[in-house]
Amino acid sequence: MQTDVAISIEHLTKVFRVPLERTTSLKQLAARGFRPAGSRRLEALQDVSIEITRGEFFSVIGPNGSGKSTLLKIMAGIYRPTSGRVSVTGLLSPFIELGVGFNAELTARENVFLSGAILGLSRSLVAERFDDIVRFSELSDFMDQKLKNYSSGMLVRLAFAVAIQAHADILLVDEVLAVGDASFQEKCFDVFRRFKKEGRTIIFVSHDMGSIQEFSDRVLILNHGRPRGIYSPAGAAVEYSRLNEEHANRLLSDSKAAPTSATSSRPRIVSVEMLDGNGQTTHAIQRGQSATIRLKIANPQREPVNAGVAIYRDDGLHCFGTNTVISHAAVPTDAETVLLLDYQCMDLQHGTYWLTVGLFGGRLGTVYEMLERLYSFHIGQSDAYEGVVYMHHQWRTPDQPPQLAH
């Protein structure tokens, strides 16, 4: 047995049987004559083989529904593989998601002990480290409050503070940093750096390419349950945007392959891309920089059209939307048109975002095309400002003159 392998996965396949109708009553079962209900096979993972070395920071990235979380749950022993084999060497922390087992009716203090027990820590060990946990979470004034009065940000802080106490060689981390402000995220990253230095193995699942690139040794890209490959962090970034482009192209070609002649002559979107300040196609923008969206539209009948572009954050938050009607912009009625949409400052905070692009008739009445999650891009930031957007601001005392233009 090789001792430097923490997790070895061989030909792992996981198939969920999704019942066509859910049987939860005996009446339904009797009505079918006690035969099992028909079910649909959902292949969550197909033939995944990986070997994760001890001390490695191994990341798994993939679009929603690609099987990332299923893979993690199989490693944790929550799901059983349909076929294949998973071997784990070392103590594994079940820290799949933060705040699991938290009880809203109990105080934060009680929840720390409960959560510690779920992570496998003894009561005396939690008691010993209680002050560290409180200090890390920065919630010392709120320890005797019930968790139902906590904000989601506070919950994450408390959960993370407990979770990092886990006494494990291998940590499974799922989407931890999705919540929490930038300064807390930085603190979490510090912990990851420390874990890495201590030689612990971390398996990190996310769809945030930014944090994956910063820490990972290797990155597995999953797509529809199939491994696309294992890459270096830089290689993964390139491959992942290629995957997203393929996805966009498929959306575009699906819409082009519209079967009837009535729709073939309709206005449609030919391509969408984001350009940086130098006019180069990009998927990564630093906050505050300018960016341009380039839309190519085919309009064989030269009908009046309205184009719209919306920016969604990865979790579905609609950040900004505009279209040519509300912006009073004229769209030329040529057979083929290129439209450019300039954003002066991309003042969105760190994260992954998606463009949704639509093409409408005249005044939004007719929808010619609506392509959701067509193009993804990443925003980076180098400061610790918090929230959804960057607000231009200035702190001052009354005797200092305001410097912001009104």
Between 114 and 178, whose beta carbon lies closer to other proteins? 114
Min dist CB 36 to other proteins, Å, is: 12
Query: By rule CB under 8 A, what string of x and - marks binding of each residue 1-40 to other proteins?
Result: x--------------x------xxxxx-x-----------
Between 85 and 302, whose beta carbon lies closer to other proteins? 85
Between 120 and 235, whose beta carbon lies closer to other proteins? 120
Query: By rule CB under 8 A, what string of x and - marks binding of each residue 111-130 to other proteins?
Result: --xx--xx-xxxx-------
Q: Return the residue of 61, 96, 209, 272 that touches other proteins, per CB under 8 A.
A: 96
Distance (Å, whole) CA 135 – CA 153: 16
Q: Return all residues near 287 (Cβ < 8 A) that are at least 6 apart.
A: 346, 347, 348, 349, 350, 379, 380, 381, 390
Between 77 and 321, whose beta carbon lies closer to other proteins? 77
Distance (Å, whole) CA 283 – CA 22: 42
Q: What is the DSSP pairing of strand 83-88 with strand 57-61?
A: unpaired
**Choices 31-39, 110-118, 263-271, 318-326; region in contact with other proteins by CB under 8 A:** 110-118
Min dist CB 102 to other proteins, Å, is: 9
Q: Return all residues near 58 (Cβ < 8 A) that are at least 6 apart.
A: 50, 52, 201, 202, 203, 204, 216, 217, 218, 219, 220
Min dist CB 33 to other proteins, Å, is: 16
Closest CA to 158 of 146, 169, 170, 167: 146
**Choices 47-55, 96-104, 259-267, 268-276; region in contact with other proteins by CB under 8 A:** 96-104
Q: Return the residue of 106, 178, 182, 319 that touches other proteins, per CB under 8 A.
A: 106
Q: What is the DSSP string of 363-406?
A: TTSSEEEEEEEEEEEEEE-SS---SSBPPP-----TTSPP-S--
Distance (Å, whole) CA 155 – CA 101: 12
φ, ψ dihedrals at 123, nearest 5°? -60, -40
Q: Return the residue of 53, 82, 145, 286 that touches other proteins, per CB under 8 A.
A: 82
Residues forming beta bridges with residue 16, ordered by sequence position: 42
Query: By rule CB under 8 A, what string of x and - marks binding of each residue 132-171 to other proteins?
Result: ------------------------------------x---
Between 117 and 364, whose beta carbon lies closer to other proteins? 117
Between 174 and 208, whose beta carbon lies closer to other proteins? 174
Min dist CB 399 to other proteins, Å, is: 52
Q: Return the residue of 88, 222, 295, 311 that touches other proteins, per CB under 8 A.
A: 88
Between 104 and 234, whose beta carbon lies closer to other proteins? 104
Q: Which of residues 164-183 bind other proteins (CB under 8 A)?
A: 168
Distance (Å, whole) CA 383 – CA 349: 10
**Choices 75-83, 236-244, 283-291, 376-384; region in contact with other proteins by CB under 8 A:** 75-83
Q: What is the DSSP pairing of strand 318-323 with strand 336-343?
A: unpaired
Q: Return the residue of 76, 155, 269, 341 that touches other proteins, per CB under 8 A.
A: 76
Please name the residue that has the structure tokens 């290629």. Answer: 242
Residues forming beta bridges with residue 307, ordered by sequence position: 359
Please name the residue that has the structure tokens 């912990």. Answer: 191
Between 30 and 391, whose beta carbon lies closer to other proteins? 30
Between 25 and 397, whose beta carbon lies closer to other proteins? 25
Provide the terminal-to-terminal Cα distance of the chain, rounded to the nearest Å: 69
Min dist CB 300 to other proteins, Å, is: 50
CA angle at residue 210 from 221 to 96, to 5 degrees?
Answer: 65
Between 85 and 194, whose beta carbon lies closer to other proteins? 85
| 188, 160 Cβ separation under 8 angstroms | yes
DSSP 3-state assignment of 158? helix
Residues near other proteins (CB under 8 A): 1, 16, 23-27, 29, 73-74, 76-94, 96-97, 100-101, 103, 105-106, 110, 113-114, 117-118, 120-123, 168
